[in-house]
Structure 1
Amino acid sequence: MPLPYSTFSEHLDALAARQSGAAALIDQDQPISVANLRARSRALAAGLARLGVQPGHRVAVWLPNCAAWVESFLACAHLGALVLAVNTRFRALEVADILGRGRADWLVYWPGFKGIDFQGILDGVAPEDLARLQGAVALSGANELSPAAVHGKPVHRYDALLACADPAPAAQGNAGVLCFTTSGTTSKPKFVLHDQKTLLRHGAMVARAFGYGDDACVLASAPFCGAFGFATLVGGLARGVPVVCAPVFDAAQSAQAAARHAVTHTYANNEALVGMMQAAAPGAFSRAQLFGFASFTPALDNLLDLAGEAGVPLTGLYGSSELIALVAGQPRDPAEGDVSARHQPGGTLIYPDARVRARDPETGQILPHGQSGEIEIRSPSLMRGYLDNPEATRAALTDDGYFKTGDLGYTLTGRQFVFQTRMGDSLRLSGFLVNPVEIEQVVETLPGVRACQVVGATRQGRIVPYAFVLLHAGAQADAVGWTAACKAAMAGFKAPAGFTVLEAFPSVESANSVKIQKHRLREMADAILSDCAS
């Protein structure tokens, strides 16, 4: 779809001229108009420019869903800087990787948010990972003190930058503006780079495909730092309809916000939607036009029942960091595809010229509709590439421009498909795709642990990581200490739900190697967690 604007600054200018008083965001129940969002993001751009932020600089934004996240993104887009999106649940190991390998020049963060010891986490980052960092910007309340420095680098107050009297520099043109982090087939996350024009166009297509009218109001249920949450945000920004956000997702509060602000659309993992519907008062979703879900947990049947009782129309979704989330949604209209697949993950690609196919992973042959293989997608929403990693970029694409998703599924048409599972052993934890190698490498640094294998297991309807370990001679198990160490090193949702010591991992010899039988470990973990619950 042709767009009149290729940058967020151009789009925001036009939106402010057309509907300056309309709400662009509703942040903790406080509406922020288009004009106000524009003014604050430009003031912030001026303040950042005074600090020395330049086109091409990399700015790590370590904030929750709030107006400051959006303002920081828009300010960086105006300046031609690249945002490295950082999850607030990340800890020292993950933050160090993003700041160091992502070569961050600047950091924007909220030291007092949610009781998280941001300063302590930063203190745990090795100095070499901050070698390129020029300074940080701290979001603080009026009566809160900001840290003076991070590893000797100056920390500036966010509100002081907003008060900068300088005019904002001239807007930069289209360029790479946002990096999501994603786990690939190695232990290190990749940095998925998207440019402004692609993101804006995708937002416009999301709004069109999911039916945003003038009365639309979108609830942000996922973090803006990930592709799922950002696609929710950019769809609202592109269409000029309000996006409701809060720094912390709470099911009951989200249900109340949906009623209070007449929310029409939201997108979440099915566990989050179940929580919202269970907590909602009667009629809370009376304005709902479409709720989309990604099936990350086994609670689907319960979700369908609850949605039926609440009168909420549901549809399955699909997306990725490389293609941006909401790139596909199962159709509600037979003209758009097979509606019998509506409550399965996957969907019809939202771009008319996008295409999907399934490839046999063993033979390399393209499969007919209905046969399962690796899903490959060609879409205008495709990333620019993996930041600083041209080899990985080339490996992710076919010669004719399809992205190799690494997902197992089958096609229904050239634009519609059903997602089944990951081709490999990656885990969906709290809505995030996590490579178990990341967890295994941390566990293998713990006292007494010689080797580790992590699998996904089901506990109370949720997928959680579970660790099987081999010990050094004479070592003793210390599940309590290991759990505490993992939670200190990684986001809490990555910490194993339990540890079991084995004499050896179950394995089978193939023609080329000895392969660990992860399916047997998953069965063992499910049985252990089931016994614990009974």
Structure 2
Amino acid sequence: MLAWPEKTIYEGVASVASDRPDRTAVVFRGTDWSYAELLEESRALAHGLADLGVSAGDVVAVWLGNRPEWIVSQLATSFLGAAMVAVNTRYRTHELEYMLTDSVASVLVTEESLLGRNYHEMLETAVPELATQSPDSFAPGSIPALEGVVSLDSPSNLSALRGYESVLETGRDRLGGERRNDGRNSLEPASDPTAPAAIFYTSGTTSDPKGCLQSNRSLLNHSAHVADHLGVTDEDVGVATLPFCGIWGYNTLFSHLATGATLVAKTHFDPEATLELVDEYDATALTGLGVMFERLLEHESFARSRVGTIERGVVGFVSKGFDEALFERIEETFGFPVVQPYGLSEANSQIFVGDPADSMSRRKRVGGPPIHPAIDATIVDPETREELPTGEEGELALRGYLLADGYLGNPEATAEAFDESGWFYTGDLCTMDDDGYVYYRSRLDDALRTRGFLVAPREIAATVEEHPAVRSCEVVGAPHPRHGEVPVAFVVAADDRGFNVSAADLESFLDDRVADYKVPAAFEFVDEFPTTEGPNGEKVQKTLLRDRVQDRFTE
């Protein structure tokens, strides 16, 4: 049963606020925002955006770091029945231009700069009209759908930007119009839970990013179910380490707001600042990437006493590969049972998450039980899409409330991934055990079909990384005239560990550890892997690695 089957995100958070209006919802830079204050500002912003022409069915892009105004923008767009595009804070000019154009956003809410990236400068390059026009006569030709840009900071040379505070003031004036009877009546909140609430773009490591249309019902309910699975209550205080613009950070954010908990926001992850916030606010929940926890542990001011209040959290290792020693170190030092999540933009994050009560050996695998019984899952043959027996590797298919409503403006990609029976085919190689636990292996695009066997490259890479002379490894497939495809390993050596290693050494190391068809046909030693920025940090560009070996065995 869904927690809020007939409510929008705005209505869901408003119902929490009605029960505990004075409870602190968000803390930012030493200032507490109560649930009542968060709702009041979101209503004002909604009316201000409406004055700019935003209405139900429209799209508003938000390019902000983790801060209250990001949350207010999402609540305001939900109030209006509009959808919010979550723009990655690390994007550059070309990526921003692509997202604004593809999403047909009519308004952008942003700030001057973040993480050394000057957003105003990038905006001027993408939309030069911002420097030559006024807000009231803004008519861009570069991105035709864009009708206005709202910035938290006063622009220096972008004359067409509107100030966030001025838009709020307009909204407050409109809210007060009904009381003054001057014709500027306030609006009623939208009430369609099936309407798109947010658009999350895929990482685009193998093709152009696609916008995933997530509904109010999907996002609100899934976030509440995440909280229930992890045991988050209105007594909890979490620290935001993950960016709100990514689906994992988004679900973590609203898992707190959907339960009346408090979230301490930081524009971006910083180990010292995170330790200070955990310590100062007696935080009980902390979720993030394995590399984030590693940076906390290795920081010069880290002490167990500074994180002793943490009781729960989720740690993700997929982007950089599982590190067993780090997993054990996090659990031993922080003192809470570490669980790993599985998720993706098309179906929310944290769909399958380890049960904190499970054994460590089980929790070391990516995934776990479904966080809610309304989630349907099955493993199918990637080619025939017929269901496979329990325990066999295949493509994960999902069905239920948590799915996106397809890809924005891309009916071909939607038809390929979503079938008429409501199943979404994830493109991920997974297994399911007798208890219904789902465990992630790799992307199907990454999976190899060699000598008739389907092989997860991450399994091979993880075994290579067990060698003391190896720091990290990535495995891709290369065409082979006899075997169809064979694994090739790219290896970053751990030169600081006092070992030397060769391809022959690694072949010998793997001989008694994996089946012969899993032993890489070649090893390449590199200084680093090519990467691209994702919402939760860097991701290895497997496509570039594959390009390097496409002709290795065919010439």
TM category (shorter chain) comes to 0.7 to 0.9
Residue aligning to 2:2: 2
- Of 168, 178, 198, which aligns to 1:162? 168
Give the Cα separation in 1 of the matches to 2:539 and 2:204.
Answer: 16
2:102 counterpart letter in structure 1: R
Aligned-residue offset at 1:339: 6.7
Aligned-residue offset at 1:504: 8.6
1:145-191 superposed Cα distances (whole Å, 9 cap, x missing partner): 45534xxxx31100112223111421112211100000468521110
Residue aligning to 2:463: none
1:301 counterpart letter in structure 2: A
Residue aligning to 1:203: 223
Aligned-residue offset at 1:10: 2.1
Matched, 1:332 2:356: yes
1:212-268 superposed Cα distances (whole Å, 9 cap, x missing partner): 123212222211111010000111111111112111211222122122222222221
Aligned-residue offset at 1:306: 3.3
The equivalences for 1:409-448 within 5 A come to 409-413=430-434, 415-425=436-446
Aligned-residue offset at 1:404: 1.2
Distance change in 2, residues 1:306/1:9 (3 Å): closer
Aligned-residue offset at 1:457: 6.4
For the residue of structure 2 that corresponds to 1:239, the secondary structure is: coil
Matched, 1:187 2:182: no
Give the Cα separation in 1 of the matches to 2:347 and 2:536.
Answer: 25
1:39 counterpart letter in structure 2: E
Give the Cα separation in 2 of the matches to 1:406 and 1:65.
Answer: 30
1:431-490 superposed Cα distances (whole Å, 9 cap, x missing partner): xxxxxxxxxxxxxxxxxxxxxxxx9865879xxxxxxxxxxxxxxxxxxxxx9xx999x9
State whether residues 379 and 387 of structure 2, in contact with CA within 8 Å, keep that contact through their aligned partners in structure 1.
yes
Residue aligning to 1:376: 397
State whether residues 44 and 168 of structure 2, in contact with CA within 8 Å, keep that contact through their aligned partners in structure 1.
yes
- Of 250, 255, 258, which aligns to 1:230? 250
Give the Cα separation in 1 of the matches to 2:494 and 2:387.
Answer: 38
State whether residues 55 and 81 of structure 1, in contact with CA within 8 Å, keep that contact through their aligned partners in structure 2.
yes
Identity of aligned residues (%): 29
State whether residues 285 and 312 of structure 1, in contact with CA within 8 Å, keep that contact through their aligned partners in structure 2.
no
State whether residues 61 and 87 of structure 2, in contact with CA within 8 Å, keep that contact through their aligned partners in structure 1.
yes
TM-score normalised over the length of structure 2: 0.74
Distance change in 2, residues 1:207/1:459 (3 Å): farther
Structure 1: 5+ residue stretches without partners:
429-454, 462-482, 515-534
Larger radius of gyration: 2
The equivalences for 1:276-295 within 5 A come to 276-279=296-299, 280-295=302-317
The equivalences for 1:32-47 within 5 A come to 32-47=33-48
1:119-157 superposed Cα distances (whole Å, 9 cap, x missing partner): 2212332775511110100111xxx445534xxxx3110
Give the Cα separation in 1 of the matches to 2:163 and 2:351.
Answer: 37
Residue aligning to 1:136: 149
Once superposed, what is the RMSD of the aligned Cα atoms? 3.3
Aligned-residue offset at 1:503: 10
State whether residues 270 and 300 of structure 1, in contact with CA within 8 Å, keep that contact through their aligned partners in structure 2.
no
State whether residues 25 and 35 of structure 2, in contact with CA within 8 Å, keep that contact through their aligned partners in structure 1.
yes
Larger mean CA deviation between 129-138 and 272-281 belongs to 272-281
Distance change in 2, residues 1:158/1:319 (3 Å): same
Residue aligning to 2:335: 311
For the residue of structure 1 that corresponds to 2:258, the secondary structure is: helix
Aligned-residue offset at 1:349: 0.8
The equivalences for 1:15-94 within 5 A come to 15-94=16-95
Give the Cα separation in 1 of the matches to 2:87 and 2:277.
Answer: 25
Residue aligning to 1:112: 113
Give the Cα separation in 2 of the matches to 1:178 and 1:356.
Answer: 24
For the residue of structure 2 that corresponds to 1:408, the secondary structure is: strand
For the residue of structure 2 that corresponds to 1:409, the secondary structure is: strand
- Of 150, 158, 161, which aligns to 1:148? 158
Distance change in 2, residues 1:123/1:366 (3 Å): same
The equivalences for 1:365-404 within 5 A come to 365-404=386-425
Larger mean CA deviation between 160-169 and 64-73 belongs to 160-169
State whether residues 255 and 277 of structure 1, in contact with CA within 8 Å, keep that contact through their aligned partners in structure 2.
no
Aligned-residue offset at 1:343: 1.9
TM-score normalised over the length of structure 1: 0.77
Aligned-residue offset at 1:495: 10
1:2 counterpart letter in structure 2: L
State whether residues 356 and 416 of structure 1, in contact with CA within 8 Å, keep that contact through their aligned partners in structure 2.
no
Distance change in 2, residues 1:97/1:503 (3 Å): closer
Distance change in 2, residues 1:504/1:254 (3 Å): closer
2:162 counterpart letter in structure 1: H
For the residue of structure 2 that corresponds to 1:193, the secondary structure is: strand
